Structure 1
Amino acid sequence: MRHDKAAMVIELARRMAASAEGLTIDEMAREMRVGRRTAERMRDAVLMLFPQVDEVSDPPTKRWRIRGGLSAFEQAPTATEMLELTKAAAALTAAGEPVRAAALQGLERKIKAAMRSTTLNRMAPDLEALVRAETIAVQAGPRPSADEAMLTAIRAAVLAQQPLGFTYCRPGAEPRRRSVAPCGVMFGRANYLVAADRETGRIQTFRLDRMSHVAPQEGVAAPPADFDLTVFASQSFGIYQDEIEDVVLRISPEGAAEARGWRWHPTQSFEDQPDGSVIVRFRASGMRELAWHLFTWGEQATILAPQRLKAVMAGELDAARRALDAAGG
């Protein structure tokens, strides 16, 4: 068996060991990005190498799983994998997220502690060299934060489907006590609790840095049955949620190549134009955040639709002009 095929069999074994319910042949094919016949041959190879594989009936199909996990030899991480874990922790630290960074750093220590000393010693020089050779570019922007006690309280309420109580303070408004059905947390330029109003069911977002006295409450408060946090997050260009619009942008020939490589939105599509420009289309809410982003494109971006985005951009330009005039610019 060639080395690359052997590596794929080991990787499939890892995925079978990491799945509590096991994998079907179709799931193996999808996760390993191979055809069904190839997945069956790889399954057979795993069965030959790992006699502890369980076959589980799950009508109308079957699943295979490896109970008890794999040995340290079979699970030893590579220097590249450890590097990415180290970089992820460093990125969170640089972004002002020490609690989340500490969780990854703790995971890194546990992984190293579980590794054989010979493997760890062999990896150390490569890992040290790679860490020195790569770094995280710190970008300007807000520094989101959430203390450990707050995240613990939110996660406890989510898992128990209990109401979450907290005091919320918006700029220029009196603090207000809230009780909501928590749906989850969105991490980004600012961190937000996503929750449903307990009376209306309307989904709202709350900035974590404006929340205090956070604690689960007695009772039951489940999110709407059809709510999907990933879908909710993907509807907006950023965090702010408002009316969903059909956005159409024209990027000049000078910026077309960069625009095609840019991830604007999950629903994006591109239309090349005869003059070398490109039309970008997607459906999203969050026109203010989109307007802020379009500032970075300067004269290369032209808003074709919707009209509301044009109005928001004009408003942001007027606000910036007034601030500049006030400063004597």
Structure 2
Amino acid sequence: MRHEKATRLLELARLLASSAEGLTLDEMAGSMGVGRRTAERMRDAVREAFPQMEEVDDPPTRRFRIPAGLDSIFQAPTADEFAALRAAADNFRSLGASTRAQALASLEQKVLSAVRAGVRRKLAPDMEALLEAEITSFQAGPRPFEDETVLTPIREAIMSLRRLKFKYEGGSTPGREREVTPFGLLFGRANYLVGAEGGGTEPRTWRLDRIRDIKLSPTPGTRPEGFTLQAFVTRSFGIYQDGVEEVRLRILPHGAEEALGWRFHPTQTLERQPDGSVLATFQAGGMRELAWHLFTWGDKVEILSPERLKTVMREELAVAVRAHNPPPFPGGGED
């Protein structure tokens, strides 16, 4: 029990050392999964062990931090942590996300170079054993486009609060030059720049693999107040943005257990029904991508609403049937 308490205190100390602005008591409590009184006791215990902890006024609260960081003796990474980092890099690499894979590989090298030689020798066999025993299953999908010549100016524009200029080989006027205020990058089935064109504020998406001749513009560009990339993504089931509606799905009893462990959407609620089915409700747009996903549920799901989703599902089914119906036999007819 004492060892467990010491581990928890060290975890809190690492949080306080890794935060530039510091943490409030409520943030400590939330991060550690404890009540406020327990967070106060843990903070006091950490202060006894690390007297360099600072207290910063941030009305109406106070923040706490360990500005100089922790000695390396408290920061030795574990084989599990290194294996997770390597696995994430390998997963990115297998998906074609070479830029992010290289960033993680570089981070691993930097951390390893800061670890003492004796610790590295002890970690190596455990890391190799874990990497051989754990692998991420393959999932079909498009290979994400990650070109450093595209990503670098986008990230620079976001950090310097400037617009971007590029030619876009997509949309209704392919090849037209656009001037866009970047809001962020969206990685998924395909990778997208999220931003607003010209002096507008309504967010749109541009596929990275269709961007050409990208460069920084001298014109300032900032996100509209209150915009968050997470809220933008949550508006839709997938990438495509359209009207947000309440989606209601009935997962039949033979799919109920699977549905209870499924995440359809961040806004979802799941309710068991008296007949053994599950009612899934969430707010989203992107009906076509949702219909594509519901194909994978086969006969386990029934669309209750909206009508637009039912219509899209019927259209997609009709397309699939037309594509897979065998053509008439040449010269065929009745015997």
Q: Is residue 309 of structure 2 the alignment partner of residue 309 of structure 1?
A: yes
8 Å CA contact retained: 1:191, 1:207? yes
Match for residue 253 of structure 2?
253
CA distance in structure 1 between the aligned counterparts of 2:232 and 2:174, rounded to whole angstroms: 28
Structure-to-structure mapping, 1:290-329, within 5 angstroms: 290-325=290-325
Structure-to-structure mapping, 1:1-329, within 5 angstroms: 2-170=2-170, 174-325=174-325
Identity of aligned residues (%): 53
1:200 offset after TM fit, Å?
3.2
8 Å CA contact retained: 2:178, 2:197? no
1:2 offset after TM fit, Å?
0.4
CA distance in structure 2 between the aligned counterparts of 1:202 and 1:47, rounded to whole angstroms: 47
Q: Which TM-score applies when normalising by structure 1?
A: 0.96
CA distance in structure 2 between the aligned counterparts of 1:13 and 1:327, rounded to whole angstroms: 69
Query: SS of the counterpart of 2:26?
Result: helix
Q: Deviations over 1:275-329 (max 9, x none)?
A: 2111111110110100000010111111111010011111111222222247779
For 2:203, the aligned partner's letter is: I
CA distance in structure 2 between the aligned counterparts of 1:272 and 1:27, rounded to whole angstroms: 34
Query: SS of the counterpart of 1:15?
Result: helix
8 Å CA contact retained: 1:95, 1:138? no
For 1:53, the aligned partner's letter is: M
Query: SS of the counterpart of 1:250?
Result: strand
Unaligned 5+ runs, structure 1: none
For 2:311, the aligned partner's letter is: A
**Bigger Cα displacement from structure 2, 315-324 vs 150-159:** 315-324
**Bigger Cα displacement from structure 2, 268-277 vs 258-267:** 268-277
Q: Deviations over 1:134-161 (max 9, x none)?
A: 0111111111112112111101111111
Q: Deviations over 1:31-69 (max 9, x none)?
A: 111122211221122111112212222233322211221
For 2:35, the aligned partner's letter is: G
Change (3 A) 1:219 1:73: same
CA distance in structure 1 between the aligned counterparts of 2:326 and 2:165, rounded to whole angstroms: 41
Query: SS of the counterpart of 2:140?
Result: coil
CA distance in structure 2 between the aligned counterparts of 1:242 and 1:107, rounded to whole angstroms: 39
Q: How many residues align?
A: 329
CA distance in structure 2 between the aligned counterparts of 1:277 and 1:56, rounded to whole angstroms: 52
Q: Which TM-score applies when normalising by structure 2?
A: 0.94
For 1:91, the aligned partner's letter is: N
1:91 offset after TM fit, Å?
1.1
8 Å CA contact retained: 2:192, 2:207? yes
CA RMSD of aligned residues (A): 1.7
CA distance in structure 2 between the aligned counterparts of 1:35 and 1:57, rounded to whole angstroms: 22
1:21 offset after TM fit, Å?
1.4
8 Å CA contact retained: 1:53, 1:65? yes
Q: Deviations over 1:84-137 (max 9, x none)?
A: 111111111111101110000100111111111122211111111000000111
CA distance in structure 2 between the aligned counterparts of 1:26 and 1:204, rounded to whole angstroms: 36
**Bigger Cα displacement from structure 2, 92-101 vs 270-279:** 270-279
CA distance in structure 2 between the aligned counterparts of 1:70 and 1:12, rounded to whole angstroms: 12
1:178 offset after TM fit, Å?
0.8
CA distance in structure 2 between the aligned counterparts of 1:29 and 1:309, rounded to whole angstroms: 42
Query: SS of the counterpart of 1:185?
Result: strand
